[in-house]
């Protein structure tokens, strides 16, 4: 299947991306936008590079953990576009503190964005996908969802939680042809979070987020018999499928 044919496959799909203002979320939104999809982005921060997106792109200012506002956003999208085909949860925050220095507020802040925010968008949109008997949910995970990290109790707990949520959601959705996957970058990626967390050594080799967007494009159009209920390495998958998603 050539790039041009796949380009047509994305045309008029409705995509909701959280954490869209920068980093992976922005790169993924741009990749879908360039291929003719209707992209709806959610973030608490404005997009600095919005001029690089088409006139079809729609931005909503919202905290992902705000259930009522997220519900209203989805309601507006559905009223005009009838459905959401792909949900991509990219919104996330990170900070490092020892357990004794982690206040309840600190814990709640990270859990609310990374885990509760993911739960809320899935809670609102998964039932709509079930009803349509079609859809793809991609929840951004992390290496921290598989391995504990020093001074990362809150962050690791949130990402382990995303994995558990996603595995359970797959069980709910599998008979409705709704695909659920988690995805980890798989290589150092330059984002606002990594500027804060990466060592000097990692910053020497980090890559632009656009390099892993083929993986997100590929997962977005999977059927229940394709890649499903997996923890996907975006770097490895992107290397395998990138030639399919070149726009000619």
Which residue in 26, 32, 67, 155 is the catalytic one? Answer: 155
pLDDT at 198 (0 to 100):
64
Q: How far is CA 110 from the centre of its chain?
A: 16
Active site residue 32: no
Nearest Cα to Cα of residue 235 among 222, 98, 216:
216
d(CA 182, CA 203): 24
What is the strand order of the sheet 86-89 is part of? 58-61, 38-43, 14-18, 86-89, 135-140, 178-184, 231-233
Return the pLDDT at 186: 85
As a whole number of angstroms, the distance between CA 62 and CA 78 comes to: 17
**Is residue 86 scored above 70 in pLDDT?**
yes
Domains, the chain, in order of start with CATH, read 3-245 (3.40.50.720)
Those residues whose C-beta lies under 8 Å from the C-beta of residue 112, and which sit 6 or more positions away, are 65
- How many other C-beta atoms are found inside a 10 Å radius of the C-beta of residue 245? 20
Structure tokens at 97: 């503190």
The yes-or-no verdict on residue 227 having pLDDT over 60 is: yes
Q: Please, which pLDDT band fits residue 92 given cuts at 50, 70 and 90?
A: very high
**Whether the Cβ atoms of residue 38 and residue 16 lie closer than 8 Å to each other:** no
Give the global pTM.
0.94
Share of the chain above pLDDT 70, in %: 92
- pLDDT of 9 reads 85
Q: Which of 105, 94, 21 is nearest to 63 (CA)?
A: 21
Whether 117 shows a pLDDT value over 60: the answer reads yes
């Amino acid at each position: 299947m050539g790039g041009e044919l796949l380009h047509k496959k994305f045309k008029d799909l409705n995509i909701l991306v959280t954490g869209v203002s920068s980093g992976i979320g922005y790169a993924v939104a741009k990749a879908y936008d360039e291929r003719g999809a209707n992209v709806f982005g959610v973030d608490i921060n404005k997009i600095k590079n919005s001029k690089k997106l088409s006139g079809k792109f729609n931005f909503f200012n919202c905290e992902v953990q705000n259930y009522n506002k997220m519900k209203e956003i989805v309601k507006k999208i559905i009223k005009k576009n009838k459905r959401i085909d792909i949900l991509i949860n990219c919104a996330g925050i990170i900070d490092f503190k020892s357990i004794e220095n982690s206040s309840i507020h600190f814990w709640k802040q990270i859990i609310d964005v990374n885990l509760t925010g993911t739960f809320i968008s899935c809670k609102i949109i998964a039932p709509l996908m079930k009803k349509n008997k079609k859809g793809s949910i991609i929840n951004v995970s992390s290496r921290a969802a598989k391995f504990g990290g020093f001074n990362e109790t809150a962050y690791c707990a949130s990402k382990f939680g995303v994995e558990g949520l996603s595995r359970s959601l797959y069980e709910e959705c599998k008979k409705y042809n709704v695909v659920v996957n988690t995805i980890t970058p798989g290589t150092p990626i330059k984002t606002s979070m990594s500027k804060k967390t990466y060592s000097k050594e990692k910053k020497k080799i980090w890559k632009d987020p656009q390099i892993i967007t083929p993986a997100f494009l590929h997962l977005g159009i999977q059927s229940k018999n394709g890649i499903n209920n997996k923890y996907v390495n975006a770097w490895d998958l992107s290397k395998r499928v990138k030639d399919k998603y070149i726009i000619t």
